[in-house]
């Protein structure tokens, strides 16, 4: 296929030396540089002297002189059939796999020609080996996701209103989804919110990031749970916040420790997971809930409440979010559909007083103009007709059984090596490992046996190992859970 004639840029020769050169030499140097970096390949035909002269705005003789120079230097040849070509004797410096990427090659491969800001914290996990059973820390069972409902609703959304949803929309999200979420929260979570209090985000990760961007200036202090959720810490830090760890015990974040931090520092925010503390699964006690809210109101501290798996609570009495008791406008309430439907949908939300929502929407628009309108509309439809709620009920049933299955298998197969309390809710069991066992070594052996178990080190603010596993039970069925625990047992013996 013959494409348009390649152009030649003289801009890359804008150093002082090249400006003093005659124009024909600058052209020659630009072409030889393009050959040297692999943009023009051996045997490639160059534009005719007339075409190149036109595109550069120079006389044709100037281009002819440049070509003559390059022929004399051996870069180019002419052929009897007519035309000027890159000499076939040139070494082909073109990268083999990526024919069109030659222009991105720099003198030092992979080096950029400017300084970068400090990188954000990394929190990705190594890929599990093929066929491994993963006690994933917080993954739903995607094999049971309501794919048919979703695809039907998505198709309807795309066709709706003559493709109107394919245009620009509100950075705060589709009004229909914001309303559907607000009424779902009023029913199930005791939140008195309407659509003006809701922004739809791409997962709760974006909601956390938006809170950080709206709230913090460099150096602002945020209290976080330790152990805790690294991806949130990364987002908070990326906005310049300085994080102060606060210990967690069986009743959640230790309030006395939090108050001590608030007395020592000018605290701007507290990030916490009160419903099922991540990773330990404990719930913040009722007394501490009130204390946190009082402290926040008294000192004008924002409470970022990450309620990531609210729906999965198995004991009879639901625990309402802190946000449901907030009368002073201090709580920024965050949730996600990642656990209810699927993480890849990237639908999360932030519920807050309206002025905050307006600021968050303006901030969001600076990097992500809006969410995915057809997806948001499809999800709104599934909430309106009760499909999401039915799916949640079904999954809660499965997960309750899987929680029992994991607890049973751990007790049967690992006996005295582990201790745990059955969590009231969530998607994982927090397992204490006997102090005579090296938990990191155990996890390493387990990986070799084809089972992945996350150790406490991953959640540690100080990076230190501790004798605990967080074993997720939601993404595996009962048979897989049994097999996974047997593999863990085998790994203990090697
Ligand atoms: C504490 C916590 N927050 C939030 C999330 C959900 O993240 P997202 O909604 O961005 O998928 C998770 C998922 O693992 C989580 O564990």
Query: Could you give the domains of the chain?
Result: 11-104 (1.10.10.10), 133-140+390-493 (3.90.1150.10), 146-386 (3.40.640.10)
Chain segment 2-39, per-residue pLDDT in tens: 556 677 777 655 554 556 778 888 898 888 888 887 88
The 3-state DSSP class for residue 117 equals coil
Q: Output phi, psi for 293, to 5 deg.
A: -65, -40
Residues contacting residue 288 through CB under 8 Å, at least 6 positions apart: 251, 252, 253, 255
From the CA of 348, give the closest atom in ligand 1. 9
H or E segment to which residue 201 belongs: strand 198-201
CA distances from 190 to 74, 183, 323 (A): 80, 10, 9
CA of 204 to the centre of ligand 1 (A): 6
Q: Is 338 in the pocket of ligand 1 (CB under 6 A)?
A: yes
Angle formed by the axes of helices 373-384 and 387-414, nearest 10°: 90
Q: Is 204 in the pocket of ligand 1 (CB under 6 A)?
A: yes
The answer to whether 361 touches 172, Cβ cutoff 8 Å, is yes
Q: Is 277 in the pocket of ligand 1 (CB under 6 A)?
A: no
The 3-state DSSP class for residue 244 equals strand
CA of 337 to the centre of ligand 1 (A): 9
Q: What angle is formed at CA 283 by the lines to CA 280 and CA 284, rounded to 5 degrees?
A: 115
Nearest by Cα to 261 from 272, 278, 245, 240:
245
Q: Is 459 in the pocket of ligand 1 (CB under 6 A)?
A: no
Alpha carbon nearest to ligand 1 atom 13, residue: 138
CA of 289 to the centre of ligand 1 (A): 21
Q: Is 231 in the pocket of ligand 1 (CB under 6 A)?
A: no
Q: Is 454 in the pocket of ligand 1 (CB under 6 A)?
A: no
Return the bridge partners of 350, or none: 199, 334
Return the bridge partners of 396, or none: none
H or E segment to which residue 390 belongs: helix 387-414
Q: What angle is formed at CA 429 by the lines to CA 427 and CA 431, rounded to 5 degrees?
A: 160
CA of 280 to the centre of ligand 1 (A): 15
How many CB atoms sit inside 10 A of residue 389's CB? 16
Q: Which residues of the chain have pLDDT under 70?
A: 1-5, 11-19, 91-107, 109, 316
The answer to whether 93 touches 38, Cβ cutoff 8 Å, is yes
Q: Encoding tokens for residue 362? A: 């303006």
Give the pLDDT confidence score for residue 91 in this predicted structure. Answer: 65
How many CB atoms sit inside 10 A of residue 380's CB? 24
CA of 151 to the centre of ligand 1 (A): 24
Give the pLDDT confidence score for residue 371 in this predicted structure. Answer: 97
Q: Encoding tokens for residue 164? A: 């109107």
Stated pTM of the model: 0.82
Sign of CA dihedral 187, 190, 193, 197: negative
Q: Is 278 in the pocket of ligand 1 (CB under 6 A)?
A: yes
Give the pLDDT confidence score for residue 36 in this predicted structure. Answer: 82
The answer to whether 222 touches 241, Cβ cutoff 8 Å, is yes
Alpha carbon nearest to ligand 1 atom 2, residue: 308
Give first-to-last CA distance, the chain, whole Å: 61
**Residue 260, Ramachandran bin (φ over 0: left; ψ between -120 and 50: alpha; else beta):** alpha
CA of 211 to the centre of ligand 1 (A): 15
CA of 309 to the centre of ligand 1 (A): 8
With the most atoms of ligand 1 within 8 angstroms of its CB, the residue from 201, 274, 306, 334 to mutate is: 306
């Amino acid at each position: 296929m013959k494409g348009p004639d390649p152009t030649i840029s003289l801009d890359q020769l804008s150093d002082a030396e090249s400006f003093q050169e005659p124009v024909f030499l600058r052209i020659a140097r630009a072409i030889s540089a393009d050959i040297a970096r692999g943009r023009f390949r051996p045997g490639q035909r160059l534009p005719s002297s007339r075409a190149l002269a036109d595109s550069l705005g120079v006389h044709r003789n100037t281009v002819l002189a440049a070509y003559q120079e390059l022929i004399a230097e051996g870069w180019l040849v002419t052929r009897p059939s007519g035309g000027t070509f890159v000499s076939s004797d040139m070494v082909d410096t073109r990268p083999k796999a990526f024919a069109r990427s030659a222009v991105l090659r720099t003198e030092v491969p992979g080096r950029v020609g400017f300084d970068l800001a400090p990188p954000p914290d990394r929190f990705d996990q190594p890929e599990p080996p093929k066929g491994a059973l993963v006690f994933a820390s917080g993954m739903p069972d995607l094999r049971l996701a309501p794919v048919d409902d979703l695809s039907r609703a998505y198709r309807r959304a795309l066709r709706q209103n003559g493709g109107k949803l394919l245009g620009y929309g509100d950075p705060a999200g589709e009004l229909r989804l914001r309303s559907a979420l607000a009424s779902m929260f009023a029913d199930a979570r005791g939140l008195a919110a309407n659509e003006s209090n809701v922004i739809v985000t791409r997962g709760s990760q974006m909601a956390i990031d938006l809170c950080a961007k709206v709230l913090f200036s460099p150096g602002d202090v945020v209290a976080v749970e330790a152990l805790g959720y690294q991806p949130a810490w990364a987002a908070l830090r990326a906005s310049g916040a300085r994080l102060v760890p606060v210990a967690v015990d069986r009743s959640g974040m230790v309030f006395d420790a939090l108050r001590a931090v608030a007395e020592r520092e000018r605290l701007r925010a507290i990030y916490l997971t009160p419903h099922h503390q991540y990773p330990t699964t404990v719930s913040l006690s009722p007394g501490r809930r009130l204390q946190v809210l009082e402290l926040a109101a008294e000192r004008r501290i924002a409470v970022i409440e990450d309620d990531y798996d609210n729906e999965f609570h198995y004991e009879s009495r639901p625990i309402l979010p802190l946000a449901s008791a907030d009368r002073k406008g201090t709580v920024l309430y965050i949730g996600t559909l990642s656990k209810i439907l699927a993480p890849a949908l990237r639908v999360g939300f932030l519920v807050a007083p309206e002025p905050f929502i307006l600021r968050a929407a303006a901030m969001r628009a600076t990097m992500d103009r809006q969410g995915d309108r057809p997806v948001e509309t499809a999800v709104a439809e599934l909430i309106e007709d009760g499909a999401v709620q039915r799916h949640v009920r079904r999954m809660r049933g499965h997960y309750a059984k899987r929680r029992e299955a994991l607890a049973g298998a751990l007790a049967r197969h690992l006996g005295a090596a582990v201790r745990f309390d059955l969590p009231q809710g969530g998607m994982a069991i927090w397992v204490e490992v006997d102090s005579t066992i090296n938990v990191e070594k155990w996890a390493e052996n387990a990986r070799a046996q084809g089972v992945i178990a996350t150790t406490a080190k991953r959640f540690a603010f100080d990076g230190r190992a501790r004798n605990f596993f967080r074993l997720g039970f939601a993404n595996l069925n009962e048979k897989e859970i049994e097999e996974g625990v047997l593999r863990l047992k085998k790994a203990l013996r090697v």
